[in-house]
Every structure is written in structure tokens, then in C-alpha cells.
Structure 1
């Protein structure tokens, strides 16, 4: 009986934490949208849509550049994932100009 109570309480705590983490980005997005709407009341829907599209494109370009840098330094996201976190960390260290630590063989 005690074990079930402990398991249920642990489940309730983790579920509560997950819900709070999920609601945080939503509240931040709402606050940002409210601030943007208050300061840019004259901005049309088309202008807002174009601004959001430009932000998405810039974010995508940044992520693609980061991935390209990692791939140039030996990381292959489609390759063997048996050493996944270490392969990624090694590529990040090489990109930063550091010598990789604990370097297993990187899949080609």
C-alpha cells in the first residue's frame, strides 16, 4: 500500500512539473504577443505574418548553419547512433577549437 502511495505521489509531482513546464512557454508567448500588440497597434495582420515568417526563416537558417558546422566536424545525424551523445559532444568541441575528450570512433 505504501509503495502505491509513493508511486502515485511521485507521478502527481512529475505530472505537475510537466504541466508547469508546458504552460511556461505559452504564458511567455502570450505576454510577448500582448506586448507586441500594445506597442505596434498600427501593425496589420499581413505585417505581423511577414515578421513571424522572417523570424522563422532566420531561426531555420541559424539551426541549419549549426548543423552544417557539426557535420563538418565529424557528426553524422543519420549515421550510427550507438555513441550518440558522445559523437555530438566531440563535434561540438572540435567546432569550438577544443580537443575532443573520450572520443569513440565517429561513424562516416
Structure 2
């Protein structure tokens, strides 16, 4: 009887130790994990207004490039354009935008 209770106790201890070994260990905060350092690192990321300004600038650049290509003869709305690679390359060369791919 005493042997079965020791075996049961050992099984319970083993089960508990296995269950808790799967969880990450919690340690005291270090300088790298303190909230002040985390807040400082978060401020290095661009703000919402900065991201919006960057998107607006990229969109304006893309639209200006498309306008130059259209002025150089490229028609992006043409469906089933058999001359697609060549006509955009010609417009890029004429507008001086990018390097046409060979």
C-alpha cells in the first residue's frame, strides 16, 4: 500500500513538473525589457501622420511618372495590347523614366 502511494505521488510530481516546464520562465525585468526602454523603442517607429505623408508622397510620385508615360504615348487602358512590353519601353525611353528592360 505504501509503495502505491509513493508511486502515485511520484507520478503527480512528474506530471506537474512536465506541465510547468512547457511555460516560459518569468525573470525580473532587465534594462532591455523595462517599459521605459520599450516605449523609447516604440517612438523610433514612424507615427501615423508620418506614414500617411510617406504614402501620399509615393502616390504623387507614381502618378507623376504615369502622367509622363501617358504624355510620351503610353496608353495603360488599352486592353489586349499585343505591343505591351514594347510600347511601355518606348514611352519610358521617350520620357526618360527608368531603364527599359530588354
Task: Specify the structure having the higher radius of gyration (Cα).
Answer: 2
Which of the pair has the greater relative contact order for Cα pairs under 8 Å at 6+ separation? 1
Instruction: Give TM-score, length-normalised by structure 2.
Output: 0.49
The structure richer in helix per residue is 1
Instruction: Give TM-score, length-normalised by structure 1.
Output: 0.46
